[in-house]
Amino acid sequence: MGKDKGRTFAFVSELNMPALDFIADKDTDAYRSFHMARLGTRELEIVRDDLNERTGIRTQVMRTVPNITLPRLVRGMVPNGKVEFVDTREFVDSSRFVEPFSQEFTTVNNITKHSVVQGVITVT
Q: For 47-81, write each residue's pLDDT tens digit.
A: 999 999 998 889 999 999 988 887 887 777 887 77
55 by DSSP, 3-state: which?
A: coil
Strand 57-66 with 85-92, pairing: antiparallel
Share of the chain above pLDDT 90, in %: 15
The verdict on pTM exceeding 0.75 is no
Residue 45 amino acid letter: E
Strand 101-109 with 41-52, pairing: unpaired
Closest CA to 46 of 27, 61, 68: 61
